[in-house]
Amino acid sequence: MPFGGVFDSDKIKAKIQELEKQTLEPGFWNDKKESSALFATINNLKDKILPWEEMIQKIKNLDDMIELYEEEDNPDQYAEEVDQDIIKLNTEFQTIKTRTLLSGMYDKVDCFLSIHAGAGGTEACDWTQMLMRMYLRWCETHGFKTEVLDLLEDEGGVKSVTIQVKGQYAYGYLKSEAGVHRLVRISPFDSNARRHTSFSSVYISPVLDDSIEINIKPEDIRIDTYRSGGAGGQHVNKTDSAVRITHFESGIVVQCQNERSQIMNKDMAFKMLRSRLYQYYKAKKEEENAKHAIAKKDISWGSQIRSYVFQPYTMVKDLRTGQETGNINAVMDGELDPFIESYLNWHQSLGLDE
């Protein structure tokens, strides 16, 4: 039977069995790259049906429980418990349904999330700090682990920050956030209480494994080392352990200062650079393809994707999908799921590949 009205489970199970037979063949482990890719394919296929099978079993169990309760002398006493179970199942269903939209090549992997303040000085840095808090709250709510790899603070806020988000489907969910975010509010830094507009750019890129080849030639980059920032005192870093890498062609600059040594910072900085370059070259390819596809012309890293208005009214609106809400405080506390889901549906409707 088809699960979720989308997948033919029998065909998928047959494909899984076929691939699993290949893992038993002599010499299968001789090519680690190929064997790893095959296991990744098997796991992806299992992810398509196992959650739906578990969901169907839970529904059957709940149905059996309701039948038992109906035989009791006072079945109404169990109504609240049943209602809670139904609400819980509906939440799980929505999660599984959303994941069916995550079919991109790197949707399941960890990601790097970078936020950079635009023009506007203190006001823009404060906005960047607000966005940083918003994403950290979303990650915490959804069980994703986060690590701040680089943080450049400025008076009144954050000038730039790079965070590694770890967990299944981190990139798949957060890719919806890439672009320019616009804030409109009465500035707390303006003594005349005037309304200000600020911009911050968000970059999302997948953490790539060693099987993805991104060719970085020594002559294409510049590596700088500098002293990591800190609170000072006896724990202040007295060596140039922080690393900054500049890629000339793309203009991409990545830096890392939170690892324990210069070697570790350099290794992480190269991972960040490979990730950003993957997105850079993918975007260039999409731009080339977009010359003949009107629907894709609005897709670019530099485009404004979402507006957050605090005054004279409250509204958050995604300019790509039209998704909006007046509860701006909830959004700033990390309630981004409606925007993420609407983006994934919009993305799929355009037939865009990752």
Domains of the chain with CATH codes: 2-99 (1.20.58.410), 111-291+301-349 (3.30.70.1660)
- Averaged pLDDT score across all residues of the chain: 84
Q: What pLDDT, on the 0 to 100 scale, is given for residue 292?
A: 42
Question: For residue 313, is pLDDT > 80?
Answer: yes
Q: What pLDDT, on the 0 to 100 scale, is given for residue 310?
A: 94
For residues 100 and 66, what is the distance between their CA atoms, to the nearest angstrom? 29
Q: Single out the residue of 95, 101, 106 nearest to residue 51, CA to CA.
A: 95
Q: What pLDDT, on the 0 to 100 scale, is given for residue 211?
A: 64
Tally the C-alpha atoms within 13 A of residue 201's C-alpha that lie toward its C-beta. Answer: 8
Q: Where residue 300 falls among pLDDT bands split at 50, 70, 90?
A: very low
Tally the C-alpha atoms within 13 A of residue 99's C-alpha that lie toward its C-beta. Answer: 21
Q: What pLDDT, on the 0 to 100 scale, is given for residue 92?
A: 84
Question: For residue 289, is pLDDT > 60?
Answer: no
Taking only the tens place, the pLDDT of each residue in 240-274 is 789 999 999 999 999 999 888 899 999 999 999 99
Q: Where residue 25 falls among pLDDT bands split at 50, 70, 90?
A: confident
Taking only the tens place, the pLDDT of each residue in 116-173 is 998 778 889 999 999 999 999 999 999 999 999 999 998 779 999 999 999 989 999 9
For residues 122 and 128, what is the distance between their CA atoms, to the nearest angstrom? 10
Taking only the tens place, the pLDDT of each residue in 217-241 is 999 999 999 887 654 444 445 567 8
- Output the CA torsion sign for 124, 181, 111, 282: negative
For residues 119 and 305, what is the distance between their CA atoms, to the nearest angstrom? 17
